[in-house]
Amino acid sequence: MAFDITSLVFDARGLIPAIAQSRDGEVLMLAWMNAESIAETLATGQVTYWSRSRSAFWRKGETSGHVQKLVELRIDCDRDCLLLVVDQTGPACHTNRRSCFYTAVREGEEIVLCEPIA
């Protein structure tokens, strides 16, 4: 079946959450996309999100160089969430950590799992 972006389920803002996962399985981040950013990502092979704060394309890594090359786009059963398998250049997180999910809750305490890449 041909993929049709309009078959996805967007929220009231026209957005859909997108999980970025590295090829080796690490969950890197969650951000949001709209129909145009999905089309842009598929057309260019470089992940482009939608910035909710700027209401503009967020070409991941455009200023930092920490780009995400799309390996595969996947859709969930309800068609209201995307999984982007990516090749991540450098850290995905703006704190310079590989993943944004670097804080764990263990026995009621927050534990930082990794330090920024030097």
**Numbered residues of the known binding site for Mg(2+):** 76, 78, 80
Among the listed residues 73, 87, 98, 114, the single contact to a copy of itself using CB under 8 A: 73
CB 63 within 8 A of CB 54: no
Among the listed residues 76, 88, 117, 118, the single contact to a copy of itself using CB under 8 A: 76
- Smallest distance, Å, CB 60 to a copy of itself? 15
Residues in Cβ contact with 23 at an 8 Å cutoff, skipping those fewer than 6 apart: 71, 85, 86, 87
Neighbouring C-beta atoms of residue 70, cutoff 10 Å: 17
Q: Is 109 in the site for a copy of itself (CB under 8 A)?
A: yes
- Upper half-sphere CA count for residue 69 (Cβ side, 13 Å): 5
Cα separation, 42 vs 4, in Å, equals: 12
Three-state SS at 106: strand
Looking at the Cβ atoms of 5 and 67, the one nearer to a copy of itself is: 5
Looking at the Cβ atoms of 67 and 83, the one nearer to a copy of itself is: 83
- The owner of tokens 């200023």 is 63
Q: Is 118 in the site for a copy of itself (CB under 8 A)?
A: no
* Interface residue list for a copy of itself (CB under 8 A): 1-3, 17, 19, 21, 24-27, 29-30, 42, 72-78, 81, 83, 93-95, 97, 100-106, 108-110, 113
